[in-house]
Amino acid sequence: MKVIIPAAGKGTRLRPFTLWEPKPMLFVAGDSIIGHILSILEGLEIDEYRIVINPEGSMTEMLRKAYPGKPFSFHVQDSPLGLGHAVLQGLAGLGDEPVLVLLADTIIPFNLQDALASLGSGEGFLVAKQVDDPSRFGVIEKDGDFISRLVEKPKEAKSRLAICGIYYLASAERLRDAIEELVAKDIRTAEEYQFTDALSILIEEGERLRTVEVKTWIDCGTSDALLDANRILLKRNSRVVTLKGLLIKPPCWIADDVKITNSIVGPYVSVARGTEITDSILSNCIINRHADIQDSVLKGSIVGFKGVVKGRTLSADVGPFTRIEPI
């Protein structure tokens, strides 16, 4: 099976961190965002991971280095013309074969193998979740077991089933034809070729798409969302070290080579490799690689690569290579 992960966005809502590394590579709960996404696919026979990137291509070597042995290929989206257009780049050259599309800023822990096993011949699925306010989402309407209609941000919703960001289609060729129809007819929503519009074409043509409902849907699109994701994921996967002079309040994830002295860490703190923390108190934080925290109290903060905080009390983001210390 082929997997397409559209990852061409600039990640503007996660600046300044995405000025240093692409959004899918940002650290959360012991791994990158895309690492958590790839873990959902463990145990499946994946022929190729097709990563759709922007022309800068900065993620190419990062991914290969972080996940050696994965059969990655990279496909460039030259212009930001929407999710449908991004997926189209990833579909290049594929035939009448199944394809799985996963968004690069959405983590959905669920049993993908069971979902695939439940399908009949020629069927696909969309992952969905019941939401309180469907007017904020793309919404699924069903007729029996199958999807009958997709409605983007309806004012009066007939359903509370929101589209989450994982799509399995039985035929990459049919999906490509649907997106190419959008492009040929220049059918755009908000100036972009929308993936849901292509799926709507398939549904109108009789595509049998089921829903797989999940309870947990983790968005990683903003700093606040990334901290929420960190909390949710740490409840599932925590990891701590035992060091003298360190009080850990779980759940936390702390890399092996982290140096922590006379500090209180947790709950909900992830600390990446190469970091030093001294005489500090941290809670609800993400601390990226090679950061240096001294004599500080941090709560609800993300500290970027080689960020330095000394002698401060903060509930704010600290960008990569940024120093915050007394004058």
Task: Give pLDDT, residue 307.
Answer: 96
The model's pLDDT over 281-303, given as tens digits with 9 standing for 90+, comes to: 999 999 999 999 999 999 999 99
Check residue 58 and give its pLDDT. Answer: 79
- The torsion angles phi and psi of 58, rounded to 5 degrees, stand at -70, -20
DSSP track, 190-206: TTB--HHHHHHHHHHTT
Cβ pair 162, 134 in contact under 8 A: yes
Which tens digit of pLDDT belongs to each residue from 30-72? 999 999 999 999 889 999 999 999 988 778 989 999 999 899 9
Task: List helix spans (H) across the chain.
Answer: 33-39, 59-66, 83-90, 112-117, 172-184, 195-204, 223-236
CATH topology of domain 2-219: Spore Coat Polysaccharide Biosynthesis Protein SpsA; Chain A (3.90.550)
Domain boundaries, the chain: 2-219, 238-324
pLDDT band at 244 (very low <50, low <70, confident <90, very high): low
For a pLDDT cut of 90, what percent of the chain falls above it? 78
**Amino acid, res. 165:** G
- Report the pLDDT value the prediction gives residue 26, as an integer from 0 to 100: 96
> What confidence tens digit (pLDDT) does each residue in 65-116 have?
999 989 999 999 999 899 999 999 999 999 999 999 999 999 999 999 999 9
- The confidence band for 247, taking pLDDT boundaries of 50, 70 and 90, is confident
pLDDT digits (tens, 9 = 90+) for 262-282: 999 999 999 999 999 999 999
Model confidence, pTM: 0.92
Show Cβ contacts of residue 288 under 8 Å, excluding neighbours closer than 6 positions: 17, 27, 272, 275, 302, 303, 304, 305, 307, 320
What's the pLDDT score for residue 176? Answer: 96
Q: Give the amino acid at 19.
A: L
* Alpha-carbon distances of 36 from 30, 160, 230, 254, rounded to whole Å: 9, 27, 11, 16
* Least confident piece of the model among 100-109, 187-196, 260-269, 314-323: 187-196
Report, as an integer, the average pLDDT of 145-174. Answer: 90
The CATH topology of domain 238-324 is UDP N-Acetylglucosamine Acyltransferase; domain 1 (2.160.10)
